[in-house]
Amino acid sequence: MKILNEPIKVMVIFHPNKGLESGKIEPVKFRLEDQVVRIQKIQKIYEENIIGNKRIVFVCQHNGKDIYELKYETDSKTWYLFKK
C-alpha cells in the first residue's frame, strides 16, 4: 500500500517542559480509513526543513518490520502519514 502525505487524525501526548521527557511530542495512535492504528515503536525523530516548511518526522515501526513515517507540519499544525 502506498500512501503519501495523507492528512490524518492523530492522538498525541505533548510532554510538559520538565522532567525526563521534557518537551517531547509523542504520537500514540492515529486513524486511517475507519481503522485505528496504535503506534508501536518510534525508531527515530528528526526535523526536516525543505524550503523552510518545517516538519517533525517520526519514523515508526509496525509489527517489527513495516516502516512508516508520521510528519507534523508546524506551520499548518497538521499531521501527515507517509508509507511507501
Partner 1 sequence: MIVMHIDVNSAFLSWTAAYEQQQGIDRDIRKVASVIGGNEQNRHGIVLARSILAKKFKIQTGMSLMEARRQCPNLLVVPPDYQVYVRASKTLREYLYKFTPDVEVFSIDECFLRFTDLNKEEALSLACKIKEDVKNIFGYTINIGISKNKLLAKMAGNFEKPDKCHTCFPEEIKEKLWPLPVEDLFMVGRKTKVKLNRWGIYTIGDLAKTDPNLLFKSIGVYGHMIYAYANGIDGSIFKASPPIKSVGNSSTLKFDVIDTEIAHAIILSLVEMTAWRLREAEMMCKVVSVGIKDKDFNYISRQKKLPYFTDCTKDIYKNICALFDKNWDSRPIRQLGVSVSGLEFAKFQQLSMLKDKNLLKNEKLDKVIDSIREKYGDTAVIRGIFANSELSPILGGYPDDEYPGMSSIL
Note the residues at the interface with partner 1 (CB under 8 A): 4-5, 48-53, 55, 75, 80, 82
Q: Judged by CB, which is closer to partner 1: 26, or 56?
A: 56
User: How near is the Cβ of 26 to partner 1 at its closest, in Å?
Assistant: 23
Q: Judged by CB, which is closer to partner 1: 20, or 50?
A: 50
The dihedral of CA 31, 80, 68, 46: what is its sign? Answer: negative
User: How near is the Cβ of 27 to partner 1 at its closest, in Å?
Assistant: 18
Distances (CA, A) of 21 to 28, 42, 76: 15, 14, 25
Q: Judged by CB, which is closer to partner 1: 20, or 51?
A: 51
Query: Using alpha carbons only, what angle is made at residue 70 by residues 67 and 73, rounded to the nearest 5 degrees?
Result: 155
